[in-house]
Structure 1
Amino acid sequence: MCCCCNCSNLTKKVWSFVGVVLIFGLAAFFGFGLPAIVESVARSEFIMEPGSQVYDNWLTSEVPKYLDIYVWDWKNPESITNENVRPQFVERGPYVFLEDHERHDIEFNTDHSITFRQKRTWTYIPEQSKGDFYTDRVTTPHTMLMTIAKLVGGGNPALVSQLNAIIKKNNLLDGIVYKDALVRDILFDGAEDRLLAAVQILAGAIPELAAGMDIPDWDGFAYFADRNTSVEYDGIFRMGTGTDQWTDSGLLRTWNNESTVPHFRGECGKVHGSTGQVNPPMTSQQIKNPEDFILFITDVCSAFSLKYDQDVEFGGVDGKAWIGDDRVFDNGNNYLETECQCTAPVAECPAVKPGVLDLSGCKFGAPLLASFPHFYLADPSYVSALDGPKPTRELHEFRYVMHPFSGIPLEVNGRLQYNLHVSDYGLEATEGLPDITLPVFWVNQRVTLTQEKIDDLRALDTLRSAGIYTGYALLGVGIIALGVALYFSIFVWKDSKINV
């Protein structure tokens, strides 16, 4: 039954336009108001304060993190001085570890930042590994020899002569390698290193020997020595909480109470970006035009600028992917902005070919160089000098995928390789060695968001998009209703003429 059949034409016109206004009002609410409400409520969960979802996940994450370690086994070290024979390496692993993070010494500051330490614990997972971490053996370059030779070899001739005599007299070396060392020892427990033990004793008696070198107090040499379960090793972090502005959530302000690192110059030495575990949600403009993603990596004492690659779908939610490109380890060879990564005097830069980063200032003076695994994206000369590395994008790319609205990482493959620069540094033990970069090991720090967390993000995206789509639908209905109302008002609901 018509509720307004007996109404005047003017009343019909008024009610029809009131209905149109209500439809447009609902369209505006669902298209703008509801998404804004959802966004406001969601943003409150993406700041770092007790009780928020992001803080609770950061404090005790239910998402498993893994560290895959691949070790390079040097098969022909005895031929290193033969220019006709390339060093041959065989990749061992992966040795897979579950990586657990605990936060310690948490303190909220008055400048909307949080200070903390973190403890990383690695637990071996034999069923996911290839080989046996406890019994496998490898031959790997002697890092302590190269470190000491680099720091001492070109210095005081009397000191060099004295050190040569001590090494020879006390039989401190078995060539230039750790030969047949257990993988567990060379990575975590400490491989026998008579040279390191002697230098620890001699440092007090020969001050020049310790000058410029941070001699570790390890019982044997290991690349992850004193790191497993250490609260102190990773340093002190201070990052924004986002309580003043959510775009600051998770962004580093200082590391070890400094806003810069001394190992790199200018912009390359800045402590900035995120650690990859907490990221600020992206703004609408950033979602439309993604910029570089800045990731600060303590293991290399530096921030990486990852390049936006593409939009991806991950587990039913939309994500954005960033990758490490050839700028990351360029050193000013091809990109002017990377010149500050060069650690040599400015006049000598670039000092190395593109594809590696000098870590000596970050790693107790050792001539260690970081690269992508298998020298992926590096100058071809690094691969052509060796027998073994075979770089491919699928296996060796550094990749970070993030949910843009929340800043939550969906999938991470943080792949990095650590190499040793071998050269004739001036000691008898390094005499005749070629100038060459040898691979030691590489890692993949990987994270994949659990399906339960993905479902939560999908529900959030659905709620936001449902309001927008409903708004568009109501807008269409409103336009049609406006057209109908205008038609009836002009051609149907005409006022009757009054005859006098």
Structure 2
Amino acid sequence: MCQPTLTKVAVTGTVGAIFLILGCVLIPIGNDLIAYFVEEDVAIQPGTTAYESWLRPPTPVYMQFWVWDLTNPEEFLSGGVPHMEQMGPYTYEELRDKDNITFNPNSTVSFSPKTTYIFRRELSAGPDTDTFRTVNLPAITLANLFRVDPRLQALQYLLNELSGATTVIEIPVAGMLWGYEDAYLKALEPRLGNVSTEFGIFMGTNATGEAIWTVNTGKADISQLGEVEAYDGMTSLEWWSDEYANMINGTDGTAFRPFLTPDDQLYVFVDDLCRSGFLSYDYSGKIRGVPVSHFSVPALLYANVSYYPDNQGFCTPAGNSPCVPNGLLNVSNCQAGNAPIYFSSPHFLFGDPSLFAAVSGMNPVRSEHETSFDVEMLTGIAFQVMNRLQVNVKVGPMLQMADARMVNEAYFPILWLNESSTIDKYNADFFISDVLVPQYILLGLIVVFIAVGGGLFVGAALTFVVVQYKKQKYRTTKSSTKEDLMKS
């Protein structure tokens, strides 16, 4: 009578065990399959989805500029604290291309990036012909070069008289960015011959090829994906005062290795910053329905050596300790003409109190002024990038500038920028259907197999125990009844 029941229990238990084993086996096999397809798809090589995105970003990239307008020039020139008010944003869309692409035998690819900037009035606070008041960068650069030689200072004084140059100038936004006619260069043109009379912070970078980069394709070792192997022929930099500071670490910011964890730091080499840096994990969230992790540049990246000794190498010249105040990076050595340029986060975020005491108008807000990457951890794809930077120039008393002899020392902000990109709905939906949905299906199968198999197996085991218990109880009862009959 119990045999058919035990047979059904055995069959159910066997089916459950098979389902359970299949579910458990699918875990490592599924992980291996996902890893295989991710590695195949994110490597920088023709035919992969990542390659097309690497060639040209699938979503718009914008460069936004905010310029700092000096509202009290007379007070500033008389030794007062300069008061700044930001104007902007002035937004340019970046059209990115890569020229001279060459795949090398050692799993690297060399290329020359080219960026074309197109002004987008509808995304801007005004036309880029808007003017603002700022300091005369060529004059200050020359004063910095001539500061230790009285004869050269006298020469600049004569040049000022000849050119009519002033310490404070009013120029268009586009002029500061892409070039404006400079009084010094215009005065020197008849004497120097065929030279440009224009100066601009980003002059000559619009729609022109840049330095040659060589990065790892990840084909041989996916953990090296996007790592910069050489920049402009250099495998290490030459601007800083120790080997650590001169190292070229990380990617160019367009790709990171897959399979990231919150314990990882994202290293990036930024040529405009003249150094490598890193971002640390902050928190997790979602962008257009895709889970991402938020990484940002920590305060210690701009920290003084008193707070972060590893930054000693960024003190220039060597041994100049404690270097610049917290929040600044002296990039004079890697600027044309050794211009006294200092980079910082916008509004002096993470800056020393002395920076705020010397310049008014700064109002740092971390969420608005930090540099951050929101990264999908499985693939290493950045779904949102906010690359923010402020350009400052060091000012102080300049004897050769008649109107600047009373200027107090300060790190004077010129402009700040945000190079940003956020994945659009189309590409986010494509990522969900192409990457996440297969994962969810696989996870669902694993859960179903383990849940159903485990349920069947446990149910069969319990049924077997109950049947055996009833069978034993039946035997015991039958035996007791027989004994009672014999006694009676």
Structure 1, residues 354-402: CA drift from partner, whole Å, max 9, x if none? 0111111221110011111111121122123223222222321222111
Q: Determine whether 1:474 maps to 2:449.
A: yes
Q: Determine whether 1:222 maps to 2:213.
A: no
| TM-score, normalising length: structure 2 | 0.88
- Partner of 2:128 in structure 1? 133
Q: CA, structure 1 residues 314+475, in 2 after alignment: closer, same or farther (shift >3 Å)? A: same
- Partner of 1:251 in structure 2? 227
Q: CA deviation at 1:436?
A: 0.9
Q: Determine whether 1:183 maps to 2:173.
A: yes
Q: Determine whether 1:22 maps to 2:18.
A: yes
Distance 2:462 2:18 in 1: 19
Match of 1:444 among 406, 409, 418: 418
Distance 1:124 1:381 in 2: 36
Structure 1, residues 109-135: CA drift from partner, whole Å, max 9, x if none? 11111110011010001111102113x
Q: Determine whether 1:272 maps to 2:272.
A: no
- Partner of 1:350 in structure 2? 322
Q: Determine whether 1:150 maps to 2:136.
A: no
Q: CA, structure 1 residues 415+434, in 2 after alignment: closer, same or farther (shift >3 Å)? A: same
**SS of the residue 2:459 aligns to:** helix
Please say if residues 393 and 413 of structure 2, whose CA atoms lie closer than 8 Å, have aligned partners that are also in contact: yes
Match of 1:165 among 152, 158, 168: 158
Q: Determine whether 1:334 maps to 2:307.
A: yes
Distance 1:469 1:332 in 2: 52
Match of 1:362 among 318, 324, 334: 334
**SS of the residue 2:326 aligns to:** coil
Distance 1:440 1:63 in 2: 29
Please say if residues 116 and 238 of structure 1, whose CA atoms lie closer than 8 Å, have aligned partners that are also in contact: yes
Distance 1:456 1:36 in 2: 22
Whichever residue aligns with residue 92 of structure 1, its letter is M
Q: Determine whether 1:375 maps to 2:364.
A: no
**SS of the residue 1:300 aligns to:** coil
Whichever residue aligns with residue 191 of structure 1, its letter is Y
Structure 1, residues 447-491: CA drift from partner, whole Å, max 9, x if none? 010111111222322321332243234223323322333345555
Please say if residues 67 and 99 of structure 1, whose CA atoms lie closer than 8 Å, have aligned partners that are also in contact: yes
Aligned residues, how many?
Answer: 467
Structure 1, residues 411-442: CA drift from partner, whole Å, max 9, x if none? 11111110010123563555343211111011
Please say if residues 154 and 425 of structure 1, whose CA atoms lie closer than 8 Å, have aligned partners that are also in contact: no
Match of 2:377 among 392, 404, 410: 404
Please say if residues 358 and 368 of structure 1, whose CA atoms lie closer than 8 Å, have aligned partners that are also in contact: yes
Please say if residues 159 and 184 of structure 2, whose CA atoms lie closer than 8 Å, have aligned partners that are also in contact: no
**SS of the residue 1:454 aligns to:** helix
Distance 1:105 1:72 in 2: 38
Q: CA deviation at 1:17?
A: 4.5
Distance 1:263 1:426 in 2: 29
Q: Which stretch has the larger CA shift, 179-188 or 159-168?
A: 159-168
Distance 1:114 1:360 in 2: 31
Distance 2:220 2:95 in 1: 30
**SS of the residue 1:353 aligns to:** coil
Q: CA, structure 1 residues 70+6, in 2 after alignment: closer, same or farther (shift >3 Å)? A: same
Matches for 1:310-329 after TM superposition, within 5 Å: 310-329=283-302
Distance 2:195 2:98 in 1: 26
Q: Which stretch has the larger CA shift, 351-360 or 393-402?
A: 393-402
Q: CA, structure 1 residues 452+290, in 2 after alignment: closer, same or farther (shift >3 Å)? A: farther
Please say if residues 399 and 405 of structure 2, whose CA atoms lie closer than 8 Å, have aligned partners that are also in contact: yes
Q: CA, structure 1 residues 13+340, in 2 after alignment: closer, same or farther (shift >3 Å)? A: same
**SS of the residue 2:65 aligns to:** strand
Matches for 1:290-329 after TM superposition, within 5 Å: 290-329=263-302
- Partner of 1:69 in structure 2? 65
Q: Which stretch has the larger CA shift, 220-229 or 455-464?
A: 455-464
Q: CA deviation at 1:324?
A: 2.0
Higher CA-based Rg = 2
Q: Determine whether 1:193 maps to 2:170.
A: no
- Partner of 2:364 in structure 1? 391
Distance 2:462 2:5 in 1: 17
Please say if residues 84 and 359 of structure 2, whose CA atoms lie closer than 8 Å, have aligned partners that are also in contact: yes
**SS of the residue 1:103 aligns to:** strand
Distance 1:380 1:93 in 2: 25
Q: CA deviation at 1:94?
A: 0.8
Distance 2:190 2:248 in 1: 36
- Partner of 2:37 in structure 1? 41
Q: CA deviation at 1:80?
A: 2.6
Q: CA deviation at 1:187?
A: 1.3
**SS of the residue 1:391 aligns to:** coil
